[in-house]
Structure 1
Amino acid sequence: MAWSHYREMIVWQKAMDLTDEVYHLARSLPKEELYALSDQMRRAAVSIPSNIAEGYGRQTDREFRQFLSVARGSVFEVETQLEICIRQNYLSVPDAKTALALCDEVGRMLTTLSRH
């Protein structure tokens, strides 16, 4: 691999930024969503950099790509949950803008990386 540690991967760094943003946004959701949408959104966000790191630690490129695929799925999960928050008027579009942009960026990076 081209990196000596997964922390050097820009996609992992961006995924960590996305996780930070999701945690920030989740704090503003209504209390009734604490153990539902808020919790699910945080877990999906955590899954993204975690799967990138776990895939990096695997021994084959095939396994690495498999974990990148799981991470990419989690990106779409977070994106959908953000859209639900917007539709439920828990978040405004401007509030979610940074997180949605990071979802798009990380998703594209994972797609590109998994093809190489």
Structure 2
Amino acid sequence: MKVERFEDLEIWQLSRELCKDVYQITSLEPFSRDFKLIDQIRGSSGSIMDNIAEGFERGGNKEFIQFLSIAKGSCGETRSQLYRAFDCKYITEAKLKSLTNSAISISKKISTLMNYLKKSDIKGPKYKQ
């Protein structure tokens, strides 16, 4: 499959799903009353998909790799915040495992794409003649 838009990227699609799941869990009681953690975890989960999109749209592999690195960091941040939510008894252990497994999978896929781009001779669409 040819990737023409960031929406075509599996890592962006998976990140979008994780972000939707985070919004869903943060809307439930008692989580919905912890405004600071809600703001942090919604921000970090949204940052994953947003940085993938922004890096892709920059049109160059080096910039894309840089933004993928930021997205990977946001993935770790989201996982850490999920543990905080669990420790505060906002989510169940099953929900923690499910969401952290999703974040770990996304992080691994981001790493795979970064490694591919680093080895690729293609510089990106903005460098095409």
TM-score tier (shorter): over 0.9
- 5 Å-filtered alignment, 1:21-60, equals 21-28=21-28, 29-31=31-33, 33-34=34-35, 36-60=36-60
Structure 2: runs of 5+ lacking an equivalent: 117-129
Q: Does 1:67 align with 2:63?
A: no
Task: Map 1:14-25 onto structure 2 (within 5 A).
Answer: 14-25=14-25
| CA positional deviation for 1:30 | 4.5
Please provide the CA RMSD for this pair. 1.1
Tell me by how many angstroms 1:46 deviates.
0.6
**1:57-91 residue CA offsets vs partner (Å, 9 max, x unmatched):** 11321100000000000000000000011112121
Partners of 1:44 and 1:78 within 8 A in 2:
yes
Q: How many Å separate the matches in 2 of 1:56 and 1:98?
A: 27
Bigger drift between 87-96 and 10-19 goes to: 87-96
Q: Report % sequence identity.
A: 29
**Cα distance in 2 between the residues matched to 1:39 and 1:84:** 13
